[in-house]
């Protein structure tokens, strides 16, 4: 059971979703002069072979984790691509989670002023979010994702069978983005996620495919309408102002991104309630209940309990003010109004 979602940007591309799709990537090889694969040390032994022999010749394996989204690793990747003799008609394949997707996308955008790339996301977070939409980045000491470009992939192959080997924590991180997406998409999606929660947590194959498909459909719609995040796409940043601050204070990689996002969504609901933006009084309680059933935090206190770290208000405010979503030095929030509706660019005194 596989499905396809089209992303209608300047050069449209398809996101294929379902179990066993890594084997289908090899069919694209004739489109390119040479292909190199970028993956990490955890994913390579598990899934590299599934891409087939053609792609086994030029492989770059980087250390797993957020630290690889750095200029140092980026430079090393670009140097290795030169060593492989890639030219402007070559392509890269990102085989891994969001870290690999972001690093590979930026490498593809920079190498010889731009080559094509294919996303093969192997984490739930990357399948429902990071692999779709063309955002690429590395981190700076000053903050997360502060250096990057938009560079859309040629295709995305979300092989849901790879999610079986994800650690519990990393899988849950993907559930954080699933929760955010359902809240943004509206009542029907939220109710479906409530119904799916138990099977989703158990990683039931059909449920995974359906949930990934639904999230990708929503993201494709948003990205197609606003590919460069000039306006409406900013809704996808729900919870992210808080999440990036949490990740920054804890140290990159300590709190998985989607887990920070889930806490950020809870904080955004609280903020929306206290400043009068939230119009559905039941929503915060409902989302908290759903988050609990998915094993997700919904507050800074939850994150403190989980990490044993302290996130003081001044530290959070300082970290939030270096967020790239800000404008003219003001912190910009995305706050929920009701399921399916948010207010963007909210400035709070």
Ligand X SMILES: NC(=O)c1ccc[n+]([C@@H]2O[C@H](COP(=O)([O-])OP(=O)(O)OC[C@H]3O[C@@H](n4cnc5c(N)ncnc54)[C@H](O)[C@@H]3O)[C@@H](O)[C@H]2O)c1
Catalytic positions are 113, 135, 177, 219, 229, 233, 237, 240, 244, 257
Nearer to ligand X, 37 or 125 (CB): 125
**Relative orientation angle of helices 205-225 and 168-185, to the nearest 10 degrees:** 50
DSSP reduced 3-state for 167: coil
Question: Is there a contact between 289 and 206 (Cβ–Cβ < 8 Å)?
Answer: no
42 binds ligand X per the rule CB under 6 A? yes
Question: Secondary structure of 122-134 in the HEC alphabet?
Answer: CCHHHHHHHCCCC
Contact 73, 65 (CB under 8 A): no
Interface with ligand X in residues 254-293 (CB under 6 A): 256-257
**Residues 182, 189: contact at Cβ < 8 Å?**
yes
239 binds ligand X (CB under 6 A): no
Unique residue bearing structure tokens 């390579």: 44
160 binds ligand X (CB under 6 A): no
Residue 69 neighbours by CB under 8 Å, 6+ apart: 99, 102, 103, 137, 138, 139, 145, 252
DSSP-based three-state secondary structure for 10? coil
Place of tokens 């849901």: 160
- Residue 215 in the binding site for ligand X (CB under 6 A): no
User: Closest distance between ligand X and the C-beta of residue 98, in Å?
Assistant: 2
Contact 310, 190 (CB under 8 A): no
Backbone angles phi, psi at 146, to 5 degrees: -80, -10
State the minimum distance, in angstroms, from the CB of residue 195 to ligand X.
25
Stretch that binds ligand X, among 49-57, 123-131, 186-194, 335-343 (CB under 6 A): 123-131
Residues 169-198, one symbol each (x = binds ligand X by CB under 6 A, - = not), give: -x--x-------------------------
Residue of 70, 119, 145, 241 that binds ligand X (CB under 6 A): 145
Among 133, 176, 239, 336, binds ligand X (CB under 6 A): 133
Nearer Cβ to ligand X, position 259 or 283?
A: 259
**Contact stretch for ligand X (CB under 6 A) within 163-171, 269-277, 298-306, 323-331:** 163-171
Q: Determine the Cα angle at 16 with ends 32 and 217, to 5°.
A: 125
With CB under 6 A as the contact rule, the residue among 33, 165, 274, 312 that binds ligand X is 165
**Minimum distance between the CB of residue 95 and ligand X, rounded to whole angstroms?**
9
Alpha helices (H) in the chain, listed in sequence order? 43-47, 71-83, 98-110, 124-125, 168-185, 187-201, 205-225, 240-250, 257-274, 283-293, 300-307, 313-321
- The Cα–Cα gap between 68 and 63 comes to 6
Q: Which residue is nearest to ligand X (CB)?
A: 98
166: contact with ligand X by CB under 6 A: yes
Nearest distance, CB of residue 41 and ligand X, angstroms: 7
| φ and ψ at residue 64, rounded to 5 degrees | -75, 145
Q: Annotate each residue in 89-108 with x if it binds ligand X (CB under 6 A) or - if it does not, as one string.
A: -------xxxxx-x------
The contact pattern for ligand X, residues 44-83, with x = CB under 6 A and - = no contact, is: --x-----------------xxx--x--------------
Question: Which range in 23-31, 162-170, 201-209, 280-288 contacts ligand X by CB under 6 A?
Answer: 162-170
The contact set with ligand X (CB under 6 A) reads 40, 42-43, 46, 64-66, 69, 96-100, 102, 122-123, 125-126, 129-130, 133, 135, 145, 162, 165-166, 170, 173, 256-257
């Amino acid at each position: 059971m596989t499905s396809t979602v089209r992303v209608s940007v300047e050069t449209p591309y398809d996101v294929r979703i379902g179990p066993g799709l890594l084997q289908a990537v090899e069919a694209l090889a004739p489109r390119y002069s040479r292909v190199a694969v970028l993956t990490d040390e955890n994913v390579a032994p598990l899934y590299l072979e599934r891409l087939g022999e053609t792609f086994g010749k030029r492989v770059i394996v980087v250390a797993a984790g957020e630290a690889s989204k750095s200029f140092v690793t980026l430079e090393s990747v670009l140097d290795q691509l030169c060593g492989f003799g890639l030219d402007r008609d070559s392509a890269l394949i990102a085989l891994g989670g969001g870290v690999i997707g972001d690093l590979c996308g930026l490498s593809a955008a920079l190498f010889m002023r731009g080559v094509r790339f294919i996303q093969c996301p192997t984490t739930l977070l990357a399948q429902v979010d990071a692999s779709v939409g063309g955002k690429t980045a590395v981190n700076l000491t000053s903050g997360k994702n502060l250096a990057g470009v938009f560079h859309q992939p040629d295709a995305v192959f979300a092989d849901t069978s790879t999610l079986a080997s994800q650690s519990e924590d990393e899988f849950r991180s993907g559930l954080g983005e699933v929760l955010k997406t359902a809240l943004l998409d509206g009542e029907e999606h939220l109710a479906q996620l409530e119904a799916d929660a138990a099977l989703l947590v158990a990683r039931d194959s059909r449920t995974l495919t359906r949930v990934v498909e639904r999230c990708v459909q929503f993201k494709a719609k948003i990205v197609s309408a606003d590919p460069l995040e000039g306006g409406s796409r900013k809704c996808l940043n729900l919870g992210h102002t808080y999440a990036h601050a949490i990740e920054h204070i804890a140290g990159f990689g300590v709190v998985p991104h989607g887990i920070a996002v889930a806490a950020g969504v809870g904080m955004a609901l609280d903020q929306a309630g206290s400043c009068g933006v939230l119009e559905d009084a039941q929503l915060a309680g409902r989302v908290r209940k759903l988050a609990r059933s998915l094993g997700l935090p919904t507050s800074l206190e939850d994150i403190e309990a989980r990490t044993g770290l302290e996130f003081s208000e001044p530290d959070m405010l300082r970290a939030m003010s270096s967020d790239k979503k800000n404008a003219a030095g003001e912190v910009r929030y995305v706050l929920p109004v009701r399921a399916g509706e948010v207010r963007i660019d909210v400035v709070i005194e």
